[in-house]
Structure formats: structure tokens, C-alpha cells
Amino acid sequence: MQIPVGVSARHIHLSQEHLTVLFGAGAQLHPKKDLSQPGQFAAQETVDVQGPRGKIERVRVLGPVRPETQLEISQTDALKLGMQAPVRESGHIEGTPGLTVIGPQGQLDLQMGVIVAKRHVHFSLDEARKYGVRDGQELALRTKGERGLIFEHVTARVSPTYKLDFHLDTDEANAAGLHTGDEVEVIELEHEHGQEHFHGNEIIRVDSSPDVGKTPESVR
Amino acid sequence: MQIPVGVSARHIHLSQEHLTVLFGAGAQLHPKKDLSQPGQFAAQETVDVQGPRGKIERVRVLGPVRPETQLEISQTDALKLGMQAPVRESGHIEGTPGLTVIGPQGQLDLQMGVIVAKRHVHFSLDEARKYGVRDGQELALRTKGERGLIFEHVTARVSPTYKLDFHLDTDEANAAGLHTGDEVEVIELEHEHGQEHFHGNEIIRVDSSPDVGKTPESVR
């Protein structure tokens, strides 16, 4: 099974409340580019983020707005900001650190939501059935080339609103020499696991999940 | 077989001629910290490097001086500098790009020598014999943890002056969640290969090789 690659640059999802704080009353996101997952887009809007030891400017906002604000960075970014960021699935932000987010009309002290996104593959229902994959299952993916490697523990995420795409961050892409549009191969279907984010007998992820379409494959 | 990990931050090796250009007549490197490979050290000296679209300050100089100047950066750094840097073994700098190197007493337009270092394992002669590994052979190394993965095509480098250590760059370390002092496991001895950097029947790398002890495991 070949799966297309989408490299996720750092980005932020905003709640409506936080969008208003940062961009002013009545603010809306303006789509700049569609992302691989249906309905998701990179917005024209950007914010700056300030950590304990460093600042990163022009972090792309993704739309639409989410129930909770979430900043997804690489480990390289975390070092630059001077903070720890745990590897998490999108939406699982309990106990994660916050930082200062700066917009053109205001700033906010985010209390939590800074994560390094756990690498994952999006599957539509049809794609999941075709490949015999279930939501929450872990896959091993092999890349080719001079920096070829095998990513283990890649989470399968299945939803009617998804489309086949392997999402990894810029550290992972650089380490493997991968670019958006490359392909990787599934070499093994790992055992399903019993962690809190395994959805039991469900083959679908509910549409209201904050995880839906979490990543841009652009913006570097 | 467990192998200790040494994460290589960006660094530069200087020729005596270039050291003089950057730091003035009679300049010498002053050791700041010993590295894992015997005789190699991180110097107190640093330089700035300027690429087409960005600058990186305070790049650590490693000593002793080498026959040729070589800047080793991550792919992340290359993007920041705005340049392509090929993945190469240390010392194989033919056809690689250059950039501007800035020291306290002068600057130079380096004509070539900017690389992303190919990941590799250093073995002493005894270690190589013990594990049945030959210089130039490729290994597959498995890491553990939530970002666990398998690095394929890891080059074994054998020399009397080496000591067991797996060297990878910061992108690779961040992608795998590895830190200096962690351990990885050899899971497979890949076939020896016939590329130009395979040293045939030699089990040792000659001591005058510019590759000797190329990496710091510090400085991030």
C-alpha cells in the first residue's frame, strides 16, 4: 500500500474566542489555500508565538476554527522557544504547556495546547475498508532514498471526512528526506493497541472530533 | 547490539588557512569540551554563516583543524539559510555548495563544503571485530519510545582512532525523540554496498582520513 505524504509545517488552530482576542471583534479566517483534508484550509492570517527563550513569527493559522486552540510545532521549534512540548494526537491537550500568542489586535496567554503532533495517516471509510485498517491502529511505514527509514507507531485515523494522507512534521520529513507529494509504503500492520485514543469497535471517528483535518501540508 | 547515541548539532571544521583568515594570523583553536571520538574537541571559537536567505550565528568550530573546511548542518538549517545541502559522508565535499563564513577577524567565501552529514556509527577495530562489522557496511538501527523508528542505511565507519557511537543530526534526533546518551539497537546487518565510499577489503579507515571524529554530541 502506497500512501502520499503531507509534511506539516508549524501551525495553529484557534477557537472563535481566541480568534476574536487576536484579530478583533467580528474577525473571520480568510482561506488562502485548501489542505489535503476536505474542508480544511490554511488561512491568510498568521500569529507570532513567544516562549520562555524565543519567539517564532508568522505562524500560519488553519481553519475552520476549532473548539480549542492548539499550536503544533516541531521539536526544533520547541527548543527555539525554550519549552517542552509533548508528542500528542491532535485534540489531546490536557496537561500540555501554553505560551503567549500575539495577533495584530491583541495577545493572549494560552494556558495549554502546545504539542508536537504524533505522526498519523488519514483514511476515509472506503480507504480504511479497502486496506483493512481501523481507527487507532498503528502502522509501520517505510520510506526510500538515502535517508530511508521505517516509521513505527504511526496512528491510523479513520473518518468519513478524511482522505488518504500521511502527516508528519518537518523534523520527521527532514530526517527522512521526504517532501509533500512523495509516497511511503505500509510494510506491517502493527497490533491494535489499547490506549485511551483507541476507539474500540468504532471504525469511524465522529465528525465533531477536534482532530478532523488537523494538518497543513504547506507553508514552509 | 546496543550502541550509544551522539547527537550532532551544526558545526564547522576549519582548515588552518581558513582559521587564519577568520581568526587572524597565528590563530589556534582552544578546546572547550572533549567529544566522544578520541582527540576531537569542540573549540571555544564560533563563526557565523550567511546563506542566500538567512544567517546562523555562533556555529561551533570543532578541532583539530582539518585539511579542508566543512560545514555540517541539518536540513532545517539549510532551509533557514536558503540553500540546498546534500547528504554526504564527512570529507566527501566535491560538488557541494559554499557560503559566507564570518569570523571575528575576517570572512571568507567558502566555495564548497556545506553538507548534511550522513548518519553513521563509529567503531574501533576491536568493536568492529567483536560485532563482525566492516568499514563501509550499512546497518539498520532501531530506536524505542513513542517516536520509535528504524534508521536504515546507517554507515559503519571503522578506525583505530574511533570509539563506538551512533552519530545523527538534530533533525534525525528530534524525529526519533533521541538524545545524546540514549541507546539504539542494531536489528539487521545490511549488505555491504559498492559505492565510492565503500573501502573494499579494508577493515580500517586510514588515520589521515578527514572523516576522523567528525561530530560533536553537544552544543544544542
Q: Smallest CA–CA separation between B27 and chain A, in Å?
A: 32
Task: Give the model's confidence band at B115: pLDDT under 50 very low, under 70 low, under 90 confident, else very high.
Answer: very high
Q: Does B74 touch chain A (CB under 8 A)?
A: yes
For residues A132 and A156, what is the distance between their CA atoms, to the nearest angstrom? 11
The shortest CB-CB distance from A147 to any of B87, B170, B177 is to B87
Of A190-194, A195-199, B169-173, which gets the smallest average pLDDT?
Answer: A195-199
Q: What is the pLDDT of residue B214?
A: 38
Q: What is the mean pLDDT of chain B?
A: 88
3-class DSSP assignment, residue B56: strand
Backbone angles phi, psi at B79, to 5 degrees: -65, -40
Q: What is the mean pLDDT of residues A185-198?
A: 56
Task: Give the model's confidence band at B1: pLDDT under 50 very low, under 70 low, under 90 confident, else very high.
Answer: confident
Q: What is the pLDDT of residue B199?
A: 35
Q: Does B148 touch chain A (CB under 8 A)?
A: yes
Q: What is the mean pLDDT of chain A?
A: 88
Find cell 491583541 and name the residue.
A106
CATH 2.40.40: does it fit domain B120-205?
yes
Task: Give the model's confidence band at A125: pLDDT under 50 very low, under 70 low, under 90 confident, else very high.
Answer: very high
The shortest CB-CB distance from B147 to any of A79, A87, A146 is to A87
Q: What is the pLDDT of residues A60-101, one digit of tens each?
A: 999 999 999 999 999 999 999 999 999 999 999 999 999 999
For residues B20 and B16, what is the distance between their CA atoms, to the nearest angstrom? 6
Of A28-32, B90-94, B196-200, which gets the smallest average pLDDT?
Answer: B196-200
Query: Which residue, A219, A161, A211, is CA-closest to A13?
Result: A211
| A199 burial via Cβ count (<10 Å: 0-12, 13-18, 19+) | middle
Task: Give the model's confidence band at B43: pLDDT under 50 very low, under 70 low, under 90 confident, else very high.
Answer: very high
Cβ neighbours, 10 Å, residue B33: 13
Enumerate the residues of chain B whose CB falls inside 8 A of the CB of residue A177.
Answer: 75, 87
Backbone angles phi, psi at B174, to 5 degrees: -65, -40
Q: Smallest CA–CA separation between A188 and chain B, in Å?
A: 13
For residues B211 and B14, what is the distance between their CA atoms, to the nearest angstrom? 13
Judged against a pLDDT cut of 80, whether residue A213 lies above it is answered with no
Q: Measure CA of the first residue to CA of the last residue in chain B; give whole Å.
A: 27
Find cell 481507527 and name the residue.
A135
Q: What is the mean pLDDT of residues B114-133?
A: 96
For residues A18 and A107, what is the distance between their CA atoms, to the nearest angstrom? 9
The shortest CB-CB distance from B153 to any of A148, A151, A169 is to A148
Judged against a pLDDT cut of 70, whether residue B190 lies above it is answered with no
DSSP classification of residue A138: E
Of A23-37, A68-82, A183-197, which gets the smallest average pLDDT?
Answer: A183-197
Q: What is the pLDDT of residue A121?
A: 98
Closest-approach residue (CA) in chain B for A117: B147
Domain boundaries, chain A: 9-117, 120-205
Q: What is the pLDDT of residue A149?
A: 96
Judged against a pLDDT cut of 80, whether residue B15 lies above it is answered with yes
Q: What is the mean pLDDT of residues B200-218?
A: 37
Q: What is the mean pLDDT of residues A29-54?
A: 97
Of A198-207, B38-47, B73-82, which gets the smallest average pLDDT?
Answer: A198-207
Q: What is the pLDDT of residue B201?
A: 32
| Share of residues in chain B with pLDDT > 90 (%) | 83
Judged against a pLDDT cut of 50, whether residue A197 lies above it is answered with no
Strand partners, B13: B62, B70
Task: Give the model's confidence band at B145: pLDDT under 50 very low, under 70 low, under 90 confident, else very high.
Answer: confident
Task: Give the model's confidence band at A145: pLDDT under 50 very low, under 70 low, under 90 confident, else very high.
Answer: confident
Q: Does B187 touch chain A (CB under 8 A)?
A: no
Q: What is the mean pLDDT of residues B123-130?
A: 96
Q: Does A118 touch chain B (CB under 8 A)?
A: yes
For the whole model, what pTM was predicted? 0.83
Enumerate the residues of chain B whose CB falls inside 8 A of the CB of residue A147.
Answer: 87, 119, 153
Judged against a pLDDT cut of 90, whether residue A212 lies above it is answered with no
The shortest CB-CB distance from B174 to any of A75, A118, A146 is to A75
* CA A45 centroid distance within chain: 18
Q: What is the pLDDT of residue A189?
A: 64
* CA B119 centroid distance within chain: 8
Q: What is the pLDDT of residue B16?
A: 97
Task: Give the model's confidence band at A190: pLDDT under 50 very low, under 70 low, under 90 confident, else very high.
Answer: low
User: What single string gives the DSSP state of each residue in A180-218?
Assistant: TT-EEEEEEEPPP--STT--TT-SS--TT-TTTT---S-
Judged against a pLDDT cut of 90, whether residue B157 lies above it is answered with yes
Q: What is the ipTM of this complex?
A: 0.79
How far apart, in Å, are the Cα atoms of B52 and each of B80, B82, B84, B98?
9, 5, 10, 10
Task: Give the model's confidence band at A1: pLDDT under 50 very low, under 70 low, under 90 confident, else very high.
Answer: confident
